């Protein structure tokens, strides 16, 4: 079963520019194939407020999604960037969705 994983991060609205500048550096790690490639979104009309960043990636199964989370936790370049970005985050959580093939 394919899995969509969403990393949800609600950042301080007053720090949006700083937060997004750091997020661009995370995207560079994806372009260099250090991290799994994902899609980034911010709400326009949604349940979550506009100061939420959603990173979404598709994985073959839950185990692959968990491996990606482990990589995020252990990669030194990711950790260095997250140490800068973390103080800007108000709340964060992970969501997993099973894709349905009807």
Give residue-wise pLDDT tens across range 23-56.
999 999 999 999 999 999 999 999 999 999 999 9
What is the count of structural domains for the chain? 1
Mean of pLDDT values over 56-82: 97
Q: Which domain holds residue 9?
A: 3-98
Mean of pLDDT values over 7-31: 97
**What is the pTM for the complete model shown?**
0.92
> Whole-angstrom Cα distance, residue 69 to residue 64?
9
CATH number, domain with residue 52: 3.30.70.100
Closest residue by Cα to residue 77 from 10, 42, 28: 28
Beta-carbon contacts of residue 11 (< 8 Å; ≥ 6 apart): 19, 51, 52, 53, 88, 89, 90
- Tell me the pLDDT tens digit for each residue of 90-101: 999 999 999 998
Length reported for the chain? 102
| pLDDT tier at 1, thresholds 50, 70, 90 | confident
Share of the chain above pLDDT 90, in %: 97
């Amino acid at each position: 079963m394919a899995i969509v994983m969403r990393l949800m991060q609600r950042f301080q609205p007053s720090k949006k520019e700083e937060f997004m500048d750091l997020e661009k550096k995370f995207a560079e790690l994806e372009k260099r194939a250090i991290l799994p490639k994902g899609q980034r979104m911010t709400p326009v009309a949604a349940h979550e407020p506009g100061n939420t960043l959603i990173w979404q990636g598709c994985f073959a199964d839950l185990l692959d999604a968990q491996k990606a989370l482990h990589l995020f936790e252990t990669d030194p370049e990711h950790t260095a960037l997250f140490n800068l970005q973390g103080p800007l985050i108000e709340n964060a959580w992970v969501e997993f969705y099973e894709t349905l093939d009807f």
